[in-house]
Structure 1
Amino acid sequence: MKRFIAVQKVLGLLLMLFSTTMLPPALVAVIYGDGAGMPFIYAFLVILGVGSLIWLPVARMHQELRLRDGFLVVVLFWVALGLSGALPFMFSPEPDLSLTDSVFESMSGLTTTGATVILGIDDLPHAMLWYRQQLQWLGGMGIIVLAVAVLPMLGIGGMQLYRAEMPGPMKETKLTPRITETAKALWYIYLGLTVACGLSYWAAGMSAFDAICHAFSTVAIGGFSTHDTSIGYYDSTLIEMIAVVFMLLSGVNFALHFVAVRRMDPRIYAQDSEFRFYLFLMAVVTTIVTVALFYSNTYIDWEESFTKGLFQVVSIGTTTGFTTAEFYTWPPFTEILLLFLAFVGGCAGSTGGGIKVIRFLLLIKQGLREIGRLIHPNAQLPVRVGEKVINHRIVDAVWGFFSLYVAAFTFMYLALAATGLDLLTSFSAVAACMNNLGPGLATVGAHYFDMHDPGIWILCFAMLLGRLEVFTLLVLLSPAFWRR
């Protein structure tokens, strides 16, 4: 159909672009001589070939990319990305994964969820370890936002893709007048944080390889590690605190980082209501968890209770998913509290998952306004964030998002429970995947290796739904979307 020419053209170009990401792991295989490079070469050729077949028939045709086309490209590309990203896992003898498990691992990486079906991560070839971390790094900011900076050079506008891809309720805000420059600004900040994080890990005692790999997943708020025991492998308080700092920074709105750097004024952070609420939540939950761990005799002294509690609160609160302790064996109160904190997630415009801090802040303020209206029925009580009055359409959109989020979560929770899983495993698995967190509770606390195939596919959908923030995916199911 002619109306999908622009979609087909962009999808083909993006797949060809994604195929080049198979080359760095192949190079790592050459450097370390682990003989694991050929699966990535095969994947490169397949993805490049498929992308070319999609693009070539419409290469010389021109059509304006509309907003609804942007939604379709984003969803189709993320589905295609999850499937094509699974190819190296399928082609490689290590790990030996089925189609279902390969798609899960790929989708988990690209959506920065960090859930894994692989056992024996320490024994994987360096090329495969690098690839898993690279998937998260690319997915963290969104490979489509990277493409926004490239596509205009090919004569294809990118604003529609940017609006469909970026998280948060206020998507009209651009950091710069041109969308291309906005995408570049976001990537410069993302790259700068990655380099700073990697150097910090290396200086703290990680090997250069581990430092780069963990920097990828830390700044992406991903959670994949090169070791089965995650950050706990290093048994280093210094490394844990470095991770805490960069997880917190990566959970902040990147637009806020941009403005603070451009103006060279750190006070910008303190003036932002979402940032203050974000730190307040982390501080309050850290205090509660620390006290709970100490008085439940989970740890015998305050220092260990605090360091373990702080790390897990920040890791789970930002939806990173790194671990230094088996938190799923902690007192049940702390387990559930941490899981609920993941529903809040990071700030809008960050690499974090969850519903986002600004939405929870707006929901709270809207709830308080309704209480005020009961007391003063005729009063005009606007919803404010800082000194700014929030447009009622944004508040309505937040309520709509929240209701759809809860409905989608409930549906997938029931679907997973219907496959025979116990209720706690079902609840925590959907929560961990939909919030792009990774580790859950009960049988999915350490890994998803024992999850059956129907459950894997449900959780793949949950990860995609969470990454695309519900609306972007569910809008395609609306009959109105497909009308001319």
Structure 2
Amino acid sequence: MRMKPRRSFLTVTPNTHRGHRFAAVQRLIGVLLMIFSLTMLPPAGVSMFYGDSALDAFMLGFVTTLAIGCVVWIPVRRNRADLKIRDGFLVVALFWTVLGVAGALPFWFPTTPRMTFSQAVFESISGLTTTGATVLTGIDILPRSILYYRQQLQWLGGGGIIVLAVAILPLLGVGGMQLLRAETPGPVKDTKMTPRIKETARALWTIYLGLTIACTAAYWAAGMSLFDAIGHAFSTVSTGGFSTHDRSFGYFDNHLLETISVVFMLLAAINFSLHFVSWRDRSLRIYLADPESRMFLLIALILSVLIAVALLIAGRYVMPLQAFAKSAFQVVSIMTSTGFTTADYTIWPSFVPVLLVLSSFIGGCASSTAGGMKVIRVMLLFKQGMREVYQLVHPSAELPVKLGRKVVPPRVLQAVWSFISAYMGFYVIMLLLLLAAGMDEVSAFAAVAACINNLGPGLGEVSANFATIDSFSLWVCSFAMLLGRLEIFAFLVLLTPAFWRR
């Protein structure tokens, strides 16, 4: 007897049409909005505990987001059309955009702080994309619940709230592998740590939660209050950079806290798959055996030494150890796109601030919480460039590009070139838009870099915050943050006619 083939969520039945597919996407977005509404309850609890003035804003934000989610979900709740892989890109793009707006509600509703809608959306997207750029001033006197909410947004964004949804959505009858493929950063997106997607999502979140708990405990033991320890652990492990103080990490003036922060920023910027394998095999050799993590640590060390020497020559610091400590913290913070500061690096020797901002283009490792173009792409770009030089000398030679002992397929190299070209193309376009809006050259250069690299602090007018930026520039920067989080192609694919065909 002929058996009926098993149906996969990656297949589409002949009578499934475009409307059913979009209904499935709509249903999923509605579910995710309802789930996201629950994240406004913890800061509401914080508001009740401290008795601050933001409770109504969070409750109104919770009810509004839940209601919108229900309105989106109810009309298509019975739709069971399968999601295709390309639908994952639409879900991810809509997810970060819609949640960026929904997350802005608690910022927009309260009387303290008073924010325009553009500023509220900017702050929310900055948190969810782990950028850390802020339009707020006087952070020390803000309601505790608002401070907690900003840190929580970064933590959820850093862990990839969509990955958390992947662990839950199978229970609701929605396949998740295509979402993870669209969400996972890096040039190679097909590697899974465990055979089942639910196990992969759980493994990622177990590691992420474990690092957060360990970072919180270390901060608390080293002298932070419990509130500050939780908040800064959220922004450290997510490489977000929001702080509960105007002076950022410089508020604490504690060398031990700075050392702890450097360690956890480095851990958060390393491929989480390596953490999983290292934990599973009970071995630290995994990190040194990986070409990307070795290069990441080497670049951070070289930049730290170079900037420390520059600071000593310029007379900013007298003791070499102190110069290296300040340099290493700032290099790791900016290269990992965290954005914490302990000193005003904008007054360091003039090439140093520019070098730091440029290091954010490199960013951290693939499949980490860090922003930027990712170390592995920069490595492949360099190796490909060197191969072309050698090819000129030896035209007939076969010169494969390798990572470690593995030959990199030409398709991956093409993807890297395409990604970096698109990345820089969008950077130039948004730079020109900010210049057209009246921003000076230094501020515009740093603002776009800080946003598209998900860094946060910049130079010039945006060195401390984005409070003085006009609404048009804020929307441009918000778009840059989303592009950086979506890694360009998840957005570009939506612009192709082929994507919208049946």
TM-score, structure 2 normalization: 0.96
Aligned to 2:293: 275
Give the drift of 1:2. Answer: 2.6
Aligned to 1:39: 57
Aligned to 2:222: 204
* Rounded Cα–Cα distance in structure 1 between residues aligned with 2:30 and 2:54: 27
1:367 matches 2:365: no
Aligned to 2:303: 285
Which of 13, 24, 46 pairs up with 2:42?
24
1:476 matches 2:494: yes
Which of 322, 334, 341 pairs up with 2:340?
322
Aligned to 2:404: 386
* Rounded Cα–Cα distance in structure 2 between residues aligned with 1:130 and 1:295: 41
Question: Conserved in 1, the CA contact under 8 Å of 2:41 and 2:62?
Answer: yes
* Rounded Cα–Cα distance in structure 2 between residues aligned with 1:296 and 1:108: 34
Question: Conserved in 1, the CA contact under 8 Å of 2:127 and 2:240?
Answer: yes
Question: How many residues in Structure 1 have an aligned counterpart in Structure 2?
Answer: 484
Name the aligned partner's letter for residue 107 of structure 2: F
Which of 469, 485, 493 pairs up with 1:451?
469
Aligned to 1:88: 106
Name the aligned partner's letter for residue 370 of structure 1: E
Superposed CA RMSD in Å reads: 0.8
Aligned to 2:325: 307
Which of 161, 167, 178 pairs up with 1:143?
161
How do 1:81-480 and structure 2 match up within 5 A? 81-480=99-498
The Cα offsets for residues 318-371 of structure 1, whole Å up to 9 and x where unpaired, read as 000000011122111101110110000010000000000000011111111111
What is the percentage of aligned positions where both structures have the same residue?
Answer: 57
Name the aligned partner's letter for residue 471 of structure 2: D
* Rounded Cα–Cα distance in structure 1 between residues aligned with 2:185 and 2:97: 18
The Cα offsets for residues 97-122 of structure 1, whole Å up to 9 and x where unpaired, read as 01010001001000000000000000
The Cα offsets for residues 394-425 of structure 1, whole Å up to 9 and x where unpaired, read as 11100000100010001000111111111110
Give the secondary-structure state (helix, strand or coil) at the position aligned to 1:227: coil
Name the aligned partner's letter for residue 211 of structure 2: L
Name the aligned partner's letter for residue 29 of structure 1: S
Unmatched runs of 5 consecutive residues or more in structure 1: none
Question: Conserved in 1, the CA contact under 8 Å of 2:21 and 2:82?
Answer: no
* Rounded Cα–Cα distance in structure 2 between residues aligned with 1:388 and 1:52: 49
Using the TM superposition, name which of 337-346 and 29-38 deviates more: 29-38
* Rounded Cα–Cα distance in structure 1 between residues aligned with 2:472 and 2:47: 34
Using the TM superposition, name which of 371-380 and 102-111 deviates more: 371-380
The Cα offsets for residues 148-192 of structure 1, whole Å up to 9 and x where unpaired, read as 101111110001110111111111000000111101100000000
Question: Conserved in 2, the CA contact under 8 Å of 1:317 and 1:338?
Answer: yes
* Rounded Cα–Cα distance in structure 2 between residues aligned with 1:315 and 1:120: 22
Name the aligned partner's letter for residue 499 of structure 2: F
* Rounded Cα–Cα distance in structure 1 between residues aligned with 2:163 and 2:207: 13
Which of 56, 64, 70 pairs up with 1:52?
70
* Rounded Cα–Cα distance in structure 2 between residues aligned with 1:159 and 1:472: 15
Question: Conserved in 2, the CA contact under 8 Å of 1:6 and 1:69?
Answer: no
Question: Conserved in 2, the CA contact under 8 Å of 1:347 and 1:357?
Answer: yes
* Rounded Cα–Cα distance in structure 2 between residues aligned with 1:298 and 1:11: 52
Large movers: runs of 4+ above 6 Å: none
